[in-house]
């Protein structure tokens, strides 16, 4: 085998496909088209002269050689990442990364990224401010933070938004709902229009999740003025608490309900024709990033595919 023919991009594509279990999901994670991802896999299999994946209507699974390659590649890329970081660390970085992030990102992603970042830059600290999307943009605009991570798509003068990774928001309710009338009403939901008379549990105005949900419902033909606005909370945990208590339907990131789904406290409501996808995004100043924010930004992007693949795997496992 001529090892010089191997392409690191093809290997990275294979790793994401192997973790995601579907070409379509891998394409979304890699921000590529499905034909492009399929082409990468075919080229890699041709270069290695072996089948790596078994295709089916439900997705892809690994051949024995594919499974072996996946495990070895994980070790290789982890080692390569460490080598490159060590070579790039020409001088010690000190100070604190000061960033603002909306709730889901602050809870599930920023700490994981920083733990690994700290391995390469042990003198670096972090100051994380948790806000809703509108407030994160305000902090960045007023130069209170060096960079931000947001869940919405709001535009703000002097700030550029750059895609980070995809997410999906799902409607959920308690597995056990004390109010029998409400339970029957939720069980009878067959379309988006059936949501109009039901109690919905909202985040506050300015929250990225709320903006995305309202946009998706409006695009599906729902009159937002007819929706129940009795429950409005300023945190994801508050929304989950009312959902678990059986008071209504909440719209939450798949990341935020993994534990509740796996323990049987909540269940997803499948509504034909409704799929709410969004993009987590960097909020960046219009000028150059400082050295420490810039290093954190580049490091987070370098492990983005790995974080996305873990997200897909954990959600599939929980569901």
Q: pLDDT category, 85, cuts 50, 70, 90?
A: low
Based on the fold, state whether residues 79 and 148 are members of the same structural domain. Answer: no
The boundaries of the domain holding residue 8 are 3-88
Percent of the chain surpassing pLDDT 70: 90
CATH number, residue 56 = 1.10.10.10
Based on the fold, state whether residues 284 and 157 are members of the same structural domain. Answer: yes
Choose the final residue of a domain: 88, 123, 142.
Answer: 88
pLDDT digits (tens, 9 = 90+) for 134-171: 899 999 999 899 999 998 666 777 898 998 888 889 99
Q: ∠ CA(80), CA(81), CA(83), 5° rounding? A: 65
Q: pLDDT category, 258, cuts 50, 70, 90?
A: confident
Rounded to whole angstroms, the Cα distance separating 242 from 250 reads 8
Choose the final residue of a domain: 32, 57, 88.
Answer: 88
Average pLDDT over residues 187-214: 90
User: At residue 292, does pLDDT exceed 50?
Assistant: yes
**Matching residue, tokens 């990131």:** 253
Q: Which of 301, 243, 267 is nearest to 117 (CA)?
A: 301
Torsion angle (degrees, nearest 10) of CA 84, 89, 95, 101: -20
Q: Which two tokens stand for residue 245?
A: 């208590």
Based on the fold, state whether residues 298 and 151 are members of the same structural domain. Answer: yes
What integer pLDDT is reported at residue 154 of this predicted model?
A: 65
Based on the fold, state whether residues 238 and 272 are members of the same structural domain. Answer: yes
Based on the fold, state whether residues 254 and 181 are members of the same structural domain. Answer: yes
Rounded to whole angstroms, the Cα distance separating 135 from 287 reads 20
Question: Model pTM greater than 0.75?
Answer: no
User: At residue 184, does pLDDT exceed 70?
Assistant: yes
Q: Are 34 and 27 in contact (CB under 8 A)?
A: yes
Exposed/middle/buried for residue 214 (C-beta within 10 Å: 0-12, 13-18, 19+): middle
Based on the fold, state whether residues 181 and 247 are members of the same structural domain. Answer: yes
Based on the fold, state whether residues 178 and 42 are members of the same structural domain. Answer: no
User: At residue 92, does pLDDT exceed 80?
Assistant: no
Based on the fold, state whether residues 230 and 313 are members of the same structural domain. Answer: no
What integer pLDDT is reported at residue 177 of this predicted model?
A: 93
Based on the fold, state whether residues 257 and 126 are members of the same structural domain. Answer: no
Higher-pLDDT residue of 244 and 30 is 244
Number of domains comprising the chain: 3
What integer pLDDT is reported at residue 251 of this predicted model?
A: 94
Based on the fold, state whether residues 81 and 209 are members of the same structural domain. Answer: no
295 vs 95, 131, 163, 279, 318, CA distance in Å?
12, 22, 17, 22, 33
Rounded to whole angstroms, the Cα distance separating 178 from 163 reads 41
What integer pLDDT is reported at residue 99 of this predicted model?
A: 94
CATH number, residue 134 = 3.40.190.10
What integer pLDDT is reported at residue 91 of this predicted model?
A: 53
Based on the fold, state whether residues 226 and 306 are members of the same structural domain. Answer: no
What integer pLDDT is reported at residue 314 of this predicted model?
A: 43
Choose the final residue of a domain: 88, 108, 135.
Answer: 88
User: At residue 87, does pLDDT exceed 50?
Assistant: yes
User: At residue 312, does pLDDT exceed 50?
Assistant: no
Based on the fold, state whether residues 16 and 46 are members of the same structural domain. Answer: yes
């Amino acid at each position: 085998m001529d090892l010089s023919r191997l392409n690191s991009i093809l290997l990275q594509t294979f790793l994401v496909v192997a973790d995601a279990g579907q070409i379509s999901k891998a394409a979304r994670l890699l921000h590529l088209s499905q034909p492009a991802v399929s082409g990468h896999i075919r080229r890699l299999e041709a270069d290695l002269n072996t089948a790596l994946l078994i295709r089916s209507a439900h997705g892809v699974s690994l051949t024995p050689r594919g499974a072996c390659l996946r495990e070895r590649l994980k070790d290789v890329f982890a080692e390569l990442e460490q080598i490159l970081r060590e070579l790039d660390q020409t001088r010690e970085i000190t100070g604190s990364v000061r960033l603002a992030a909306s709730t889901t990102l602050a809870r599930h992603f920023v700490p994981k990224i920083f733990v690994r970042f700290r391995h390469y830059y042990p003198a670096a600290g972090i100051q994380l401010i948790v806000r809703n999307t509108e407030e994160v943009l305000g902090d960045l605009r007023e130069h209170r933070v060096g960079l931000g991570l947001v869940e919405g798509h709001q535009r703000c003068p002097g700030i550029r938004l750059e895609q980070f990774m995809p997410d999906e928001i799902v409607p959920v309710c308690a597995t056990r709902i004390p109010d029998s009338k409400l339970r029957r009403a939720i069980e009878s939901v067959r379309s988006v229009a059936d949501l109009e008379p039901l109690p919905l549990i909202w985040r506050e105005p300015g929250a990225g999740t709320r903006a995305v949900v309202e946009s998706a419902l409006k695009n599906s033909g729902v009159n937002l003025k007819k929706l129940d606005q009795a429950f409005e909370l300023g945190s994801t945990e508050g929304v989950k608490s009312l959902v678990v208590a059986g008071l209504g339907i909440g719209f939450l990131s798949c990341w935020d309900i993994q534990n509740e789904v796996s323990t049987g406290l909540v269940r997803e409501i499948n509504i034909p024709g409704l799929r709410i996808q969004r993009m987590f995004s960097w909020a960046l100043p219009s000028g150059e990033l400082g050295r420490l924010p810039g290093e954190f930004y580049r490091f987070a992007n370098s492990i983005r595919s790995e974080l996305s693949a873990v997200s897909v795997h954990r959600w599939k496992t929980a569901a």
